């Protein structure tokens, strides 16, 4: 079980790279469950690559749950970056209510040992993946 995160992470990256959207709900459920370290990074990447309203809803559900738990440092940075990517591509504003001053993101981030602002690194990962195809 300890090494299972590697196979899940790899599978999620491959699913995202190939945009196999039929895995959307499975990945969203696995992200929300947050059972294994690191694998959530791949789930966030795949959902960002799919880039639909449904993916934004999965990411938002994850963030709403885990941003309320400051002791949990899971994949919040990956999820907010994926959500920001979807917002920029789809012209939506799902992340905006989480990022308002004193909102969930800021409350969670301020409680971290090394707080950092939300990043748009998912834009670069998705662009790099597109360039390799």
The whole-number pLDDT of residue 2 equals 57
Residue 1 has pLDDT above 70, yes or no: no
Residue 84: name the closest of 59, 114, 109, 108 by CA.
Answer: 59
Q: What is the mean pLDDT of residues 108-122?
A: 90
- Residue 41: burial class (beta carbons within 10 Å; 0-12, 13-18, 19+): buried
Q: What is the DSSP string of 74-99?
A: SSHHHHHHHHHHHHHHHT--TTHHHH
Q: What is the mean pLDDT of residues 48-74?
A: 96
- Where residue 53 falls among pLDDT bands split at 50, 70, 90? very high
Residue 28 has pLDDT above 90, yes or no: yes
The whole-number pLDDT of residue 37 equals 87
The whole-number pLDDT of residue 117 equals 87
Question: How remote is the C-alpha of 55 from its chain's centroid?
Answer: 9
Distance between CA atoms of 92 and 85, rounded to whole angstroms?
A: 10
The whole-number pLDDT of residue 3 equals 67
Q: Is pTM beyond 0.75 here?
A: yes
Distance between CA atoms of 57 and 73, rounded to whole angstroms?
A: 20
Phi, psi angle pair for 91, to nearest 5°? 70, 30
């Amino acid at each position: 079980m300890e090494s299972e995160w590697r196979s899940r992470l790899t599978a999620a990256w491959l699913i995202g790279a190939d945009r196999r959207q039929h895995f959307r709900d499975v990945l969203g459920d696995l992200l929300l469950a947050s059972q294994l370290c690191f694998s959530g990074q791949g789930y966030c990447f795949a959902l960002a690559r799919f880039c639909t309203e449904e993916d934004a809803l999965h990411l938002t559900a994850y963030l709403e749950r885990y941003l309320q738990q400051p002791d949990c440092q899971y994949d919040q940075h990956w999820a907010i970056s994926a959500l920001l990517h979807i917002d920029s591509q789809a012209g939506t504003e799902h992340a905006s209510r989480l990022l308002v001053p004193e909102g969930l993101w800021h409350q969670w981030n301020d409680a971290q040992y090394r707080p950092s602002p939300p990043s748009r690194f998912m834009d670069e990962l998705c662009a790099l993946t597109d360039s390799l195809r």
